Structure 1
Amino acid sequence: MQNTFLRFLLLISLLLFFFPVHTQTNETDVKKWKSGKLSQEDFKGQNTFKGIPSKDSIRLEITNGKEKYNGITYKYYKVENLFDRKNSYITDSANINAIRFAQLNYDLLEVYRRFIQQQLFAGNYNMIADYKYVLDDFEKQKKIIDEETKNGLNENRLEEWELYVNKALVENPEPVLQKTFKRKFNVSVYLGGSYIIPTGDIGKLYNAAPCLNLGFELGWQRIYLMFDYNIGNATPKEDILLLYDGSNKIWERGKNLQYLNGMFSLAYEIYSTPRFALIPFAGYNGSTYSKKYKNEDKYMILKNESNSWNAGLCFDFRFKNIYNFRAAQSFILRNAGGENDIYSIRTKIFITGTNYKSDINIGGSQIGISLALHINAGILKR
């Protein structure tokens, strides 16, 4: 029981040390990375560790912020890279490269800070819980630098690591806050599969149809025009007699028919976050069961068509930003994808009316579900 309590206290201490949450920082006690390079004056602490000639204390701190843009207030988390002056010191016995070595560690943490900031600005709020994995990687990288530079004594290796970390800073500039609805006009495409189940009278004649789902979408802010096309096969539950061009044709039970479904819908995004969107829609639906026949030297297509309505819901599960570390050079972090692109898994549940007419008139409805990869690219920014 005592060991469990001590482990709990240790965990809380580590969390508070690495990632404290504050609303304001005392500028005299700490130095922000963006305020300039470290100097002798930044080491104001007392040597409380025997045998350790120098010590640099650095940490990340997160604050709450907000920014107004086009009448919309965006709240966000801002991450700062801080050098703790009161807990950092250099003694007369410290090596000549002590300040350079401290600056290298400080710059290295800045690379990781920018990555965490980029994730938070992009809406990946899971990073608040996952940041410890990023800092674990920082500690591993820092240990490699400590060993290779011998804590700054190896001048050649120290210079190599300085160049390397500075290159990472250049390649990963300060992140910019992304606005959730910064696009006015959007074009989207999606590709996946669907499953359409007939019900009512139509359900007595046809089995469900597995389909390929293709989609195209035009959007203006939160309003969308959706074009869906489903193509697949269905089978009759019983023999169906149809009259075509003066002759009878039989669609035999269990034999494949081609099924086509097209939907033209108006949609509105009623709820949206960087990770999820809920979009109801309604509009026109056209669907057809058909079969091709050869009549002498010509082919004819016998159809059973319906023109009616559709309504449903889209559930867009937007991709979580994924970060990968590169082996020994893991701290060179790159942002994946363009800032105007949104990739998501779109689940669509819908219902359509039916009014099939040929020599038979049948009603009912069709219930469908589709799952597709949805790619949204912004065209015009505000």
Structure 2
Amino acid sequence: MASEFGNNLRVSIFGQSHGAAIGVVADGLPAGESVNMDELAHFMARRRPGKNALSTARQETDIPAFLSGLQDNVTCGSPLCAVIENRDQHSGDYAALSDTPRPGHADYTAWVKWGGKADMRGGGHFSGRLTAPLCVIGGIAKQILARRGVYVGAHLLSVGEEGDIPFPSRPTSALFEEVSAKSFPVLDDVCGERMKGVIMAASQEGDSVGGVVECAAVGLPAGLGEPMFGGMENRLAAVLFGIPAMKGLEFGAGFEAAALRGSVNNDPFCIRNGRVETTRNRCGGILGGITNGMPLTLRAAFKPTPSIAKPQQTVRLSRMEETELVISGRHDPCIAHRAVPVVEAVVATVLLDILLDEN
């Protein structure tokens, strides 16, 4: 099924934005792993909506109820099932949209694929709401990875034309924790204020803006992954592109490498503290689909939120005629800053799945 991923750790996401609940089933978690619920709650709160004017006004607690897989907050070997109730749906805001698909949304393609039967209230199964259960399993995966010396962190690299400073070549777990404690996930707070201004300006104009999330993982051993179609990039990309509104992905220098010469793009090898490393990290910690022991780095680009207050041209499907659409309801003027923990969650879950290849 399209809503499942993983080889050793098999994850399934279920639910719709305005249904009774959303949730996750994860089969293959190592048994005997403790889950710090306070730490998980903090991680979930980073993604939660309704905290300020920079995000949708929808109010959801996003507190998961675990139906199986945990005994006294310790994984017990059986499939983990967690459910998050939807409590603040305004489904009436979407009543007219079943016949007038929103530009930039999956309304039309879902209508074609399922003959108009898909529940598209609030975006349905395509909604960013479905990233909440991703953060449940990702938050747990981050805790398990940390006990193995692997740490995953991210920050908002840019919004529109404004940007944050990038991660250093060797980010640390302490830096990740520092960013995660902030209400706006940037390295440089002055840059962050300018980025907030871009989001608010778009919101006041009834518009939206996109952004880029930079993510890194440190502590990974060399030798993880496979060549060709089983590479680290392949397995990460397959799941990262499941995050709603993510439209671009690059590892290491990414597209910048296309403008460089090999003498500049290549990462020279060296010996540091008795181990093989590279003097820089344009490859993003991956060579031939296999980790080389350097920090794994990637950047994920998110498009502007399609639901905007400005009038847009669409069609009336029942009459097959063009019409104008004005969208009401509660929507994020920018989703990129709330996507930061989601990218972390996906990367952590996939990395844990890959680490389990070695067992």
For normalisation by structure 2, the TM-score amounts to 0.22
Q: Which has the higher strand share?
A: 1
Which structure's CA Rg is the greater one?
1
